[in-house]
Amino acid sequence: MNKQLYIHEIQALFDDVQRSEVFEDQKMMTDAVPLFPVEEINAKYEAEKQSENFNLKEFVLSNFHFLGAKILIQRENHLPIEEHIEKLWDELTRTAYEEKGTLLKLPKPYVVPGGRFNEFFYWDSYYIMLGLQISGRVEMMENIIENCYYLIQNVGFVPNASRTHFLSRSQPPYFSLMLDLLFETTKDENIYIKYHNTLEKEYAFWMNGAEGLEYGSAVNRVVKTIHGDVLNRYYDTENIPRPESYLIDIEDSENAGEEFYRNIRSACESGWDFSSRWFADGEHIQTIETLNLAEVDLNCLLWHLEKTLAKSSSLQKLNEKEFDYSERAAKRRQMIDQYFWDETSGTYKDYHIQKNTNTASEHIAALYPLFLKIASEDQAKAVAKNIEEKFLYQGGLVTTTKNTGQQWDFPNAWAPYQWLGYQSMKNYGFDDLAEKIKNNWCSNVERVYKNTGKLMEKYNALDIETVAGGGEYPNQDGFGWTNGVYLKLKKN
């Protein structure tokens, strides 16, 4: 019985299951596949739940299918790490040729992150592609791009992940970078022409609402500063608890500010769920204010998208479009300098829309202007110094300088930022620092692998005797982007 499921269709039952903590992981119920028509399950639930011996867990297990809730990777022998990763590509490959529960249909096979994450994730897929490139798996790289193309054409954007409850938000827009990576591999410029319309469609999603926006206001993913400049922010159209973290959100919302759920969800669009970066007081999730911020990473990625659109227009001799996108990119480059560069601390910071100033949080997303070669030599030098002094530890680069217990805070080191750090330093000739970033993190990955036989979602950069922690769920093993970045760094 394959019919797309939207959580609101089983809201009463879903609410009871999540509040009763029927499953240890709240993601279990969001991934469940109904065995009978939803109307039938709802009617049955209303009829049976009043009875004295009603068992909620038994009811759910007899009406839903839970296969493959967690990806377990078992090995008889401890293989060399690179051989282990080669095997993992196949073990983490999935298909979704038809709609099943909340899982969205996709035309091509894809690689999932691992652990509890058994669907297609947007920005993870770019970092997975880095490793696929090294492994010579060009077809899978093309599959990922085709799946993004399918989602942008059919949904209007690439959702956070390929489930119905993620249709209210995206993730950092990496599609244009995926095309660059494929071009680097195949040297075929036609891919920019082939996906030109898709790039435009994704750009339209991020810029939706920019026309006619008043000074000092924001709508959707666009903000207009008091100076009349248009920047972008992360956003989610829903202001309700996240189904995959339902009870956590409800509990955290007590004593929280307005639009708490939307602020939480908007932080999820950044991929950084969660970090002191989003908190007004730098400490507590209740003070989350993602909606008040324009982010340096997002605006750099949109600069790249504008540059790519100028390139794809140029290849087709679309002169007016080429000029328009080039102008937009030039303007955004100037705005990145104006709004995100903090001269005092010698680094890039997010911009607070209400306060018209940079936020206090020091974080590793400051690497993006270096990664995309937007920073000047002097700015790059200052950022490199900042990174070396405050972010580089024995086990890799940390994400922030604050330890709050949130997983995107100190002392955790995440794969994407090791690649961004390495490449950023190479771009500006800081080769020794690039090597240090690479070696510190890769040896941490190797040590954990030697001790556990696993590749983790994140690592502890400070205490290299332990595995990383923090966040809403245990550290996951698999792990897509770690595999990709590790292979890519080792080959550089």
Residue 41 · residue 33 · CB < 8 Å: no
Q: What is the DSSP letter of 22?
A: -
Q: How far apart are CA 485 and CA 287, in angstroms?
A: 33
Task: Return the H-helix or E-strand segment holding 299.
Answer: helix 296-315
The gap from C-alpha 125 to its chain's centroid, in whole angstroms, comes to: 9
| Phi and psi, residue 393, nearest 5° | -125, 180
Q: What are phi and psi of 341, to 5 degrees?
A: -80, 125
Q: Are strands 33-34 and 412-414 parallel, antiparallel or unpaired?
A: unpaired
Catalytic sites, residue numbers:
273, 457
CA distance linking residue 333 with residue 143, whole number of Å: 32
**Cα dist from 77 to 83, 89, 135, whole Å:** 11, 17, 21
Integer-rounded Cα radius of gyration of the chain: 22
Contact 292, 353 (CB under 8 A): yes
Q: What is the residue whose two structure tokens read 């060399």?
A: 80
List C-alpha distances in Å: 319 to 196, 198, 204, 313, 315: 14, 19, 19, 7, 9
Question: CA–CA separation, 4 vs 288, rounded Å?
Answer: 32
CB atoms within 10 A of CB 227: 11
Helix (H) or strand (E) holding 246: helix 246-252
Cα separation, 223 vs 217, whole angstroms: 6
